[in-house]
Every structure is written in structure tokens, then in C-alpha cells.
Amino acid sequence: MPNWVFQDLHVTGTAIEVDRFCETGLIKKKRGEIDDVLDFRRLCPLRSRERKDTYTHDSAVVLAHFRTRTQARFSMITSWDYPAEFYNRLPKHWAHLSFCCSVNEDMEQFGGVLAVIDGKLTNLVRDYSGKYNTRSHAREIKALLKRWFEHLTASRDWRLMALTGRRKSVPFDAHFDDDDRFFFLTPEDLVRFKTRYDGGAAMRRVGRTWTKTRVRLR
């Protein structure tokens, strides 16, 4: 039985680019198969002369996936290790997308967060042995997640808590985080989303502060 490495990969960009990423890499299970997979070689192909074992894994098993028009999330696992070289190549092959991924090995031997923002990869996945410093690592992760949240909510000053259940996609221009909060560019987008999927705790950002706001359904 292998040690499993859990990864929660978020992808943001235009609807066209997120579509292309999903259509290229997400291989849905066929009849008789158990799992969907995310194919790393299709997303970031190796050059003809590169070693076939450049990637530690060719793909990951996708446990769950969800998307809006402008964001996708893949909850997935690989055995023993995470595909660091695949993540290294994302900025080159998918220059118009941004990424954030948490990495957690199930025996707690290593873990952390990595992100590609504005075309630059920051990898904070660390081995927990040796001279590992928990506090220093936590500070680095906190700072990186703050940058990701700023990216995720840029110009999106309207948010709503919503449970989308077993849905795999919702046809809205919305970003979302791991706490079921959805972020919208306009109040009209929020209202349309709430009308269709319900939700609560509507808020508006004024400056740096989120405050409660009333939503009138049409």
C-alpha cells in the first residue's frame, strides 16, 4: 500500500483558457474504469529527447473536481511523491493561467503550498525532517496564500457563501475558495447566482473591509 500524496489544485483564468486546460488534461473514466485522471504529459508534454522518466508520475487520480467558467479545482492523489517537475513547467505551458496547490503526504513526511501567480512559480513544499522550521514555513505559507487570495478576489468585491452540492460545474464567472465562498465582479452576478443556487452571508468589500449587504432577488 503506497503512501498517498493529496493535492488540491486550483486553476484560474479566462473561460477559454480554463476550458482548454480541462479539456486537455482531465481524462474522464470510461465504462469499467474507476477513476478520472489528470494527465500531466498531455498538459505539459515532454520534448522528444527528454527522458521518459522526467516526471515521477504521468498522471494523478482525481477524487473530485469542480469548476466555474473562470476557475477549476482538482482534488487528486499521487503515490509516494508529488509531481514537482510538472508544476515547474506550468508557467511555460499555461502562461495565461494561475495556479495554487496544497500538497500533503498522508504520513506527514512533507507538505506545503505552491502557486503560480503572474507567471512566477513559488514552491513552498518542504520535507519535515532534519532542520525543518515549522514557524518559518507557516509564515511563508501564510504570505503566499495572502497573495493568492488577493489574486483570487482582484476586482471581485461581491461574495456569497454557497453550497453547490454534488455539482461538477456552475456556468458563472466566479472565483471560489476552499470555504465555499464565491467572488463576483458585479452585484448582478451575485444575484443571478443566488437565484439559481441559493446561498447566504452576502458581503461587499469596501476598501479592505468586507461588510454584510442586502441582496434583492429578482
pLDDT of res. 217 = 65
What is the pLDDT tens value at each position of the chain, 218 positions in all? 789 999 999 999 999 999 999 999 999 988 877 899 999 999 999 998 999 889 999 999 999 999 999 999 999 999 999 999 999 999 999 999 999 999 999 999 999 999 999 999 999 999 999 999 999 999 999 999 999 999 999 999 999 999 887 789 999 999 999 999 999 999 999 999 999 998 889 999 999 899 999 877 66
Does the pTM of the predicted model rise above 0.85? yes
pLDDT of res. 218 = 60
DSSP of the chain: -PPEEEEEEEEES-HHHHHHHHHHHEEPPPTT---EEEEHHHHSPPPTTS-TTSSS-SEEEEEEEEE-SSEEEEEEEEESS--HHHHHHHHHH-TT-EEEEEEEETTSSEEEEEEEETTEEEE--EE-STT--HHHHHHHHHHHHHHHHHHHHTT--EEEE---TT-SB--S--EE-TTSEEEESSHHHHHHHHHHH--EEEEEEETTEEEE------
